[in-house]
Amino acid sequence: MLYTDERDPGNEMPEFGDHVDKTMFEQILEMDEDEKERDFSKPLIYNFFEQAADTFERMERELEQKNLSELSRLGHFLKGSSATLGFIKIRDSCEVIQEQGKLAGSESDLAACLDKIRDALAQARNDTDELRNLMIKYFEN
Amino acid sequence: MPPADGSPSTAQAGSSSSDFVRKLYKMLEDPSYNSVVRWSAEGDSFVVLENEKFTKTILPKHFKHSNFASFVRQLNKYDFHKVRHNEEAGEPPYGKDAWEFRHPQFRADRKDNLDNIRRKAPAPRKTVQPEEAFQATQQIMVLSESLSATQHEVQTLREQCSELEKTNKMLVSEVLSLKKMVRAQSQASSELITHLTNLEERRRSSRNSAHPAGPGFASAAMGFLADGPDEPAPEIRRAREILDAAAADLQADRGRERLSVAYNQTGPAPDAAGSSSVMFANAGAVGGIPMVHDAVNDPRQLVYSVPQTADMDPFQAEPMQNMPYSRALSNPALHAEAPSPLTPHLKPPPAGSLWRGKKPHILLVEDDKTCARVGHKLLTNLECTVDLANDGNECVNRIKAGMQFDLIFMDIIMPNLDGVSATSLIRYAIPSVPIVALTSNIRQEDIQSYINCGINDVLAKPFTKEGMLRILRRHLLHLVKDPQSADLVAAEAGHPVAGQGPGPPTSQPYAAPVAMSMPAMAPNPQIKFEQASLQSPAAASTWQSPSQIHQTVPAMDGGAAYMSAVAANGPASMVLATNPGQRTLSLSAAPTPQQQSQQQAQAQAQAQAQAQAQAQAQAQAQQQQPHQALPPPPPPAQPPQPLQSQPGQYAGYMTPQQVTGAHLAAMAQAGAAAAAAAAAAANASPLDDRPEKRQRLYAPVPGQAGGYVG
């Protein structure tokens, strides 16, 4: 998309494209005692994807309910997790959801917010799917 | 026998020879003494025949004393010798007790020879003296040699010293010019960062508005733009952190410079002196001291007013480590690395343990499992003992249970009880434990509210190892092994970049508290940026801001009841679905029926207008959330209704002002209130679904695991 990581591409890092902030993600990888086993980062990241899938489901439900505040809360929540891991594309989408969820205004605004949230959610799911595949490839190799 | 009368020779002798010898001769001339003392038969010696008589009668007459021993000593001085007689040769000629003395020149017939009898010269002394003189001169020579050598040495040292002085001056001026350059560069960089931030801001918002929203929604997009996201991209934040770290290093250099300045009496004012302590003053008692002033102008007094650093000033305690040479290279290296944000962040942890003895015990209060695990791991890697609490209530309960911690990392937005409220609650029990907010909401108004409730510092999410380390060193200085480097780290906080950043500092009313509370996060540029982005201040408040929360929470009896219920059920555990099975189940557990029943209950309550229940519930509502009680609840079928469906989620958010005094007691009260409110709701509604609602709110029963409150 529009947001890309423009810092020099590291060569030792696997290619996650613009999905991942390398610094944050490397910090996570660094915490592994064993670089082959990766028994800290691997469950952490797999867990994140489960958490993300769960959160997306909840978001869908809240969208139906037009529950903006809950959407905002969920957006904030997933934003924190994704930012911690350096998953910046997901983070950005979550941020949109959080921010849009905050906007409680006129009825047309509500619809607009919900539309934006719907788009951001779709984007986030897409990005998450892509990234999950990349991560699985990375960790299972 | 020579004539007794005087002769010219006698007179002559009297003038030159010793009195003693002449007296002796005269005494021997007296014939009346013959039985006592007389010349020997040969006339070449004299004999004392009767020792006792001689001593008592004759000696006093001629020598004015009666001491035979001193008479003998006198004789010896004139080289008279006692004549010894070999005992084997038979009886001595003058008897056993006689004393016979002889001097080669002392003869009865040679009165003229008396002048040749002289006192013996003190011969041994005369032979010693030249020897001593020789030694003395030798010593003098040695001394003068060593003196000249010393003088030479002094001269060499003096030359070296002046050489060093020159070099030092050169170095200082070089450092000064470098510093100017660095400052200029960091200014340029922060300008660039600000520019980039704005660019990214625009890009993000354009990306957001790029969604097919239609022209009618442009206003909403603009509103979003004005509000802006909570934080800039972490890349930009990191860039700022690097700039800050570099500036802090520069500061340390300035401290070193002070050493040379001390004797040069020239150069810049060592204004870095109190920078570290300034930080501590801020961390300890967050006063209203504007950062811009104290770091640059008058930090010196603070050095002594702050106990933590009084004994740990690295520039006083370990001046050798601050010599310009040992660290001179670190700075250029750092600056060289600065363009790549990766390098400084990936540097290995300091060799050996960070801690002196006791390892810190840290409470990490965090509802997000991912953050909690990463934070836990980071802290464990830094040898800390870490306790995890999933929300504010867990944190409060641990403090209530008397658990001791050295530091608390506190997430702000958490279910059940948020970090600000939790801090307010536990501050009474633990007034001195550093509490560090762990949050992505780092706007000035957020930070102000954190500070108001007793939070000491802020570590921005997503946090890095370096950020964590900085916080630990800053607040656990007493446990850190090398306080010097800790002080350097602390000095980062107090660096005066705030005064050098773009834009006049006076135009940043919030700069001071923010800079004080979160120095690690490039306070000034950050603030600058945020202020620039806050084009509409009305829209700027975040949804986490407690008052904002209350505005979004609907004013309903049910809401109040829920809120009280949640508050009463304080220790309710957060449900963060890490179990996949549970999570898939949660998908089916849609809250809709509950919400409907809830709405029904509310509608029922409204319709029946049970004044009693209303009054009760509203009283509670006012007690807890003044914002909420007054407007009448909308009819259940209105579109905003979904907003009200889960008011309990926000029950934990209390404004800091509300969370004061005996809050633990207040929580207990809320319990009773909740029961009353719930009873009221039950009365009001024929469809009493209260237990279900309760379960949904704070108990993750299987099949209803959707009670995801995290």
| pTM (two decimals) | 0.40
Q: Please choose, from the candidates B351, B25, B229, B118, the residue with its C-alpha nearest in 3D space to the C-alpha of residue A99.
A: B229
Angle, CA B556 vertex, CA B569 and CA A62 arms, to 5°: 75
Burial class (CB in 10 A: 0-12, 13-18, 19+), B609: exposed
Is residue B234 exposed (0-12), middle (13-18) or buried (19+ Cβ within 10 Å)?
buried
The nearest CA of chain A is from the CA of B170 a distance in Å of: 38
Q: In chain A, what are the domain boundaries?
A: 2-140
CB contact under 8 A, B369 and A54: no
| Closest by Cα among B532, B216, B646, B228 to A100 | B228
Displacement of CA B561 from its chain's centroid (Å) = 51
Q: Which residues of chain B have pLDDT under 70?
A: 1-17, 87-91, 122-130, 207-234, 246-352, 482-710
Q: Model confidence over A15-58: pLDDT tens digits?
A: 787 888 888 888 888 888 888 888 888 889 999 999 999 999 99
Contact: A88, B233; criterion CB under 8 Å: yes
> What local confidence, expressed as pLDDT, does residue B169 receive?
93
DSSP notation for B104-158? TT--TT-GGGGGG--PPP-HHHHHHHHHHHHHHHHHHHHHHHHHHHHHHHHHHHH
Rg from Cα positions in chain A:
16
Please say whether the beta carbons of B232 and B313 come within 8 A: no
- Cβ of residue A44 closer than 8 Å to a chain B Cβ: yes
Counted across chains A and B, CB pairs separated by less than 8 A come out at: 189
To the nearest whole Å, the CA of B326 is away from the closest chain A CA by 30
What count of other Cβ atoms lies within 10 Å of the Cβ of residue B202? 11
Centroid of chain to Cα B469? 15
| Between B389 and A14, the higher pLDDT residue | B389
Omega before B513 within 30 of 0, i.e. cis: no
A65 vs B contacts (CB less than 8 Å) = 591-592, 595, 642, 645
DSSP string covering B464-511, please?
-HHHHHHHHHHH-GGGBS-HHHHHHHHHHHH-THHHHSSS-GGG-TTH
Q: Are the C-beta atoms of B172 and B264 separated by less than 8 Å?
A: yes
Report how far Cα B530 is from the mean position of its chain's Cα atoms. 33
CATH fold for the domain made of A2-140:
Four Helix Bundle (Hemerythrin (Met), subunit A) (1.20.120)
Q: Does A127 touch chain B (CB under 8 A)?
A: no
Phi, psi of B410 (to 5 degrees): -125, 110
- Average of per-residue pLDDT values in chain B: 62
CB contact under 8 A, B212 and A72: no
Give contacts of B 585-614 with A, CB under 8 A: 586-587, 590-592, 595
Q: What is the pLDDT of residues B173-194, one digit of tens each?
A: 999 999 899 888 888 888 888 8
Chain B nearest-CA distance from A137, in A, is 21
**Quick one: DSSP state of residue B41?**
T
> Rounded to the nearest 5°, which phi and psi values hold at B447?
-65, -35
Contacts of B242 (CB under 8 A, 6+ apart): B338, B341, B344
Cα distance between residue B49 and residue B469, in whole Å: 112
pLDDT tens-digit readout, B211-270: 444 444 443 433 333 334 445 566 777 777 777 776 666 555 555 545 444 444 444 444
Asked if residues B475 and B379 have their Cβ atoms less than 8 Å apart, the reply is: no
Residue A34: its pLDDT value, please?
A: 81
Closest chain B residue to A83, measured at CA: B462
Task: Look up residue A115 and give its amino acid.
Answer: D
Reading the block at residue B495, the tokens are 């660096």
ipTM for the complex shown: 0.85
Q: What percent of chain A has pLDDT over 90?
A: 23
